[in-house]
């Protein structure tokens, strides 16, 4: 089993690679979705869903 430190190291390395390819927004979107899955409060879920949509999905989004 991969320990948490290895996961963080790998994630950091992959993020740095994506930065070099000008694709960092892809991992940030994925991480935002992973965090969203952990939410249980409906109000927080709605707020975070709107933030993710505004940041990554809508036309002309900053990280589209």
Q: Is the separation of the CB atoms in 55 and 61 below 8 Å?
A: yes
Position with higher pLDDT, 10 vs 48: 48
Residue 27: predicted pLDDT: 86
Q: What is the pTM of this model?
A: 0.72
Task: Determine the length of the chain.
Answer: 64
Mean pLDDT of the region 13-36: 88
In DSSP notation, 7-49 reads: HHHHHHHHHHHHHHTT-HHHHHHHHHHHHHHT---HHHHHHHH
Residue 57 main-chain phi, psi, to 5 deg: -110, -50
Residue 48: predicted pLDDT: 98
Q: Kindly tell me if the per-residue pLDDT of 54 is higher than 60.
A: yes
Q: Is the dihedral of CA 42, 48, 50, 56 positive or negative?
A: negative
Residue 15: predicted pLDDT: 85
Mean pLDDT of the region 23-52: 94
């Amino acid at each position: 089993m991969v320990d948490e430190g290895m996961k963080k190291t790998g994630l950091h390395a992959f993020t740095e690679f994506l930065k070099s390819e000008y694709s960092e927004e892809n991992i940030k979107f994925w991480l935002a979705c992973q965090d969203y899955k952990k939410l249980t409060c409906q109000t927080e879920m709605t707020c975070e869903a709107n933030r993710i949509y505004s940041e990554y999905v809508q036309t002309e989004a900053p990280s589209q």
